[in-house]
Structure 1
């Protein structure tokens, strides 16, 4: 998800007669452009272009910097959805409705959506590491202070502030990767970042659930704030100062690149697809917590926290997604991923808990694959200012998450879990149709090349 200036153009050989290529890639008879995510962990690219000097000739930062990248990925997603597993507990604490409690997720993701385009511009102007450390400090402080909330309204205010700091973490980190590592190493380091973000998304929910089960929800926020503060120190020591960063002339120049993207129909369609991806995922895991906390399952807080282990499937399917797209084409893989996710959602309607867990695993796997496909399309479809294009995608993506947490509450009140499943199925059907239509290759798309961008995890 990121409004960063991470750019790596890659064109690699592919056998003649290969399936449909990624949109906007050059396709002479024996060449095709691999999708972005496919190159994670792969060998050196044939051709690379990075901002400033040739990054492929640059010495690589050491292992401490790689550890710092993983830590940054974890921090960005530790607290974003931390209340998902706590909603049944918070309902008893604040005596609030499901719709009101869902705002603890909506406020955070909405703040992320609104701040994402500007955080990239701040990073372009003031530097990667300074923006990263400032954002982490703000995130650590607001997370810990959320424990002081004496009412739901106060908690919502702190959650909103948390969301404002989160985009600075992942935009600065991904931009730093693209500038400071040689081009041949960018995919592998980006994979570390994505793995860290997936692990952070799981661990934030898991730790919060376990700490709340032993103490209370306030302790969970204090612990997560402390973990973020520790990681802040680790990143400050482990991440070397930027060597290749060149500041933009001013913030106005950085923001000017946003205008062309809202006039690009294919980009607008891809932004809508990103909206639908996170809408469906957040809707699923927000309301399944209420579903499984109620009769006949009555899962306690520890058991609900363990439910989020299905998120770890994202660490496995992300590299696989690229290989599948290289072989079958991104449109086909996206539609297949949505079909798998929808099948998983249908399985959650079965009455047995193992079937529900299997369904959630399938649904998550499909969403992660779909996200990989959508993310890699954005820099390909943007003819200029690709960093800004990704920033707008991140905005729409998290806007989908904020609405996916709140809007289905009306359906939940009337139709329960089955109604929420129906909402997700409709959304996934719509974005599958949109991807098949919007990402259709055209003659005018030839000649553009893909830019490596990694918005992060879910």
Structure 2
């Protein structure tokens, strides 16, 4: 992902566990034939990679760097949705409406969306590790200071500031992975990053819920800020300085790289798909908290925090997504993933809690697979300035999360959980149709895809 979540992002661990072509053979590229990350590493020029003897002489980062990558993945998603499970509690504290409380998520994801393209450009100009450490320091500080908020408006301001620092974490980390590890190691390291992201998304919600249940919500933000500071020190020590990074000429040149992407129809379609993916996920987990906190379920804060364990399914399905994409093609896997997620959403309409939990698990699994498919398309469709292309994807992705947290509040007020489910089903149907259309391979690629599959290479 050179510079991103998708999932993004968020990256593309799509070749984990997939068979490798035999020595001496060539697998032709095709959007529907094999994991995109392999083609990026093997054949596409990287934005900042060196060439020749310098590139081959640079040592491969060791296990400490891999641990740092996992920690960076956790930090990127540790605080982004931290208020999701706390919304019923915050409603009692601030005496605010559901729509107003949903802004604690919207403000953060909106800030991520707005800052993402610029964070990618800053990373291209000033370096991966410096931007990563600066972003982590800002994120740790603003998270801890959010505990000082005495009103909902003050909390929203701190949540907005948190969101401005988050994109620098994942854009710099993903670009670092693509540059510093050999091409064949990139998928495995990328999988570590995504596993850290999934774990961070769960642990942030879980820890916040448990700390709030024992003390209060302010203590939760202090604890999360302290944990982020520990991760910052771990990453500063464990991640070696970049050896293959080459800075862009200037910041203006980095920003100029955005222009070709907004003129690329396939990229624009993929950006819209990313928007819909996070819209549906954020809508689901924002309003299911209110649904299950009310009668007849009346789950308390600890129980709502445990509900987010369904996120851990992402650590299992991400490697599986690579195998499925290799065998069946990314378009088919994406549509199947959306069908699975929509089926899960329908299950949440059943009255029993086990059925709802099963439905949320299925929905999350489908979304994680779809996220892997979508994010992997971006660097393949962008022929230049891939960091900027991924930054735009992240912008649209989190813009979807922002609107997914706030806009369905109108539906919730009038139609409850069933109305929110209907909104998610419509969105998932639209992006499944978009993926099937936008990612359709060219005629020549389709023929080569069939040849590759027939030979067992995909």
Normalised by the length of structure 2, the TM-score is 0.89
The alpha carbon displacement at 1:389 in A equals 1.2
Distance 1:11 1:169, change over 3 A: closer
Structure 2 residue ranges without an equivalent (≥5)? none
- Partners of 1:17 and 1:4 lie apart in 2 by 22
Tell me, yes or no, if the aligned pair for 1:12 and 1:34 is still in contact at 8 Å. Answer: no
* Higher mean C-alpha displacement, 323-332 vs 42-51: 42-51
- Partners of 2:289 and 2:38 lie apart in 1 by 33
- Partners of 1:221 and 1:456 lie apart in 2 by 51
- Partners of 1:405 and 1:108 lie apart in 2 by 11
The alpha carbon displacement at 1:89 in A equals 0.2
The alpha carbon displacement at 1:384 in A equals 2.2
* Higher mean C-alpha displacement, 382-391 vs 356-365: 382-391
- Partners of 2:166 and 2:218 lie apart in 1 by 20
Distance 1:24 1:60, change over 3 A: closer
Q: Deviations over 1:111-150 (max 9, x none)?
A: 0000001001111111111111110000000000000000
Tell me, yes or no, if the aligned pair for 2:7 and 2:371 is still in contact at 8 Å. Answer: no
**Alignment length, in residue pairs?**
458
SS for the counterpart of 1:110 is helix
Structure 1 residue ranges without an equivalent (≥5)? none
The alpha carbon displacement at 1:188 in A equals 1.1
The alpha carbon displacement at 1:76 in A equals 0.6
Q: Deviations over 1:157-176 (max 9, x none)?
A: 00000000000011111111
Distance 1:74 1:112, change over 3 A: same
Aligned position for 1:285: 285
SS for the counterpart of 1:449 is helix
Q: Deviations over 1:303-333 (max 9, x none)?
A: 0000000000000001111111111111111
Superposition RMSD in Å: 6.0
- Partners of 2:11 and 2:225 lie apart in 1 by 42
- Partners of 2:455 and 2:106 lie apart in 1 by 19
Tell me, yes or no, if the aligned pair for 2:314 and 2:364 is still in contact at 8 Å. Answer: yes
- Partners of 1:440 and 1:64 lie apart in 2 by 41
The alpha carbon displacement at 1:449 in A equals 13
- Once the two structures are superposed, the pairs formed by residues 61-80 of structure 1 within 5 Å of their partners are 61-80=61-80
Tell me, yes or no, if the aligned pair for 2:124 and 2:254 is still in contact at 8 Å. Answer: yes
- Partners of 1:16 and 1:140 lie apart in 2 by 32
Aligned position for 1:253: 253
The alpha carbon displacement at 1:379 in A equals 1.4
The alpha carbon displacement at 1:186 in A equals 1.4
The alpha carbon displacement at 1:264 in A equals 1.1
The alpha carbon displacement at 1:34 in A equals 1.9
SS for the counterpart of 2:10 is coil
- Partners of 2:241 and 2:449 lie apart in 1 by 30
- Partners of 1:453 and 1:291 lie apart in 2 by 45
Aligned position for 2:327: 327
Normalised by the length of structure 1, the TM-score is 0.89
- Partners of 1:56 and 1:419 lie apart in 2 by 56
